[in-house]
Structure 1
Amino acid sequence: MFKGLGQLGDMAKMMQQAKEMQGRVVQLQEELKTIVVTGESGAGLVKATATAKGELTGIDIDPSIFVPSEKEVAEDLILAAIKDAQAKASQRAETEMKKLSEELGLPTDMKLPF
């Protein structure tokens, strides 16, 4: 009649683990806001800084690229630096998520919410 009540403890344990995982994911999302990555182009003439969440926070441009006849080159360098920073932010977020998955004993290719 009471067969299977032993599994209630397993369910409670699973619920606790799920709650812990949710808390860790929220914590990681907050940490990603403080991790800074820098993308660059033109051998460092243009640098873009972003958080690991992908938010652009700054740009540093060497004044030597401001030649009126080279306007398109400057624009391309700026765009390339921003794209590089965004790509690095995405890679860093993925790396941090894989670390968390490993810590929680989950498959590293499991997509957790971001």
Structure 2
Amino acid sequence: MKDIMGLMKQAQAMQARLQEAQADMERTEVEGTAGGGMVSVRLTVKGELRGLSIDPTLLKPDDKEIIEDLIVAAHADARRKAEVVMEEKMKGVTGGLPLPPGMKLPF
């Protein structure tokens, strides 16, 4: 019975840390870039697009497809960075409970 109570306390503490981490991930931003920094995208760690910047030298009608590709690449770069930040934050949240390797908590 003692082990169950300890496990319950750990689960409650983890739930509180999880809620705190989720709120933090809504505030934390990452930036992805493409084209040597000519296009940049800012996302929250949870994936919400917060900003887009395009170097004015790219704004020529003939470069439309290039700009579109660079935006997609910058977004992908930002998503990869967001996943790294999320994984690091989750390591701190789940520190006390043994979770199976590769298990991802829902975000």
TM-score category of the 2 structures, normalised to the smaller one: 0.7 to 0.9
Are 2:93 and 1:100 equivalent residues in the alignment? yes
**Count of aligned pairs between the two proteins:** 106
| Structure 1: runs of 5+ lacking an equivalent | 1-7
Q: Secondary structure at the match of 1:113?
A: coil
Using the TM superposition, give the Cα deviation of residue 18 of structure 1 relative to its aligned residue in structure 2, in angstroms: 0.8
Q: RMSD of aligned C-alpha atoms?
A: 1.6
Counterparts of 1:78 and 1:87, CA distance in 2: 14
Counterparts of 1:87 and 1:111, CA distance in 2: 16
| Paired residues for 1:12-23 under 5 Å | 12-23=5-16
Q: Secondary structure at the match of 1:22?
A: helix
Counterparts of 1:64 and 1:111, CA distance in 2: 41
Match of 1:112 in 2: 105
Q: Secondary structure at the match of 1:37?
A: strand
Q: Secondary structure at the match of 2:37?
A: coil
Are 2:10 and 1:9 equivalent residues in the alignment? no
Q: Is contact 1:54–1:90 with CA below 8 Å preserved after alignment?
A: no
| Structure 2: runs of 5+ lacking an equivalent | none
Q: Percent identity?
A: 41
Structure ranking higher on relative contact order (CA contacts 8 Å, 6+ apart)? 2
> TM-score when scaled to structure 1?
0.83
> TM-score when scaled to structure 2?
0.88
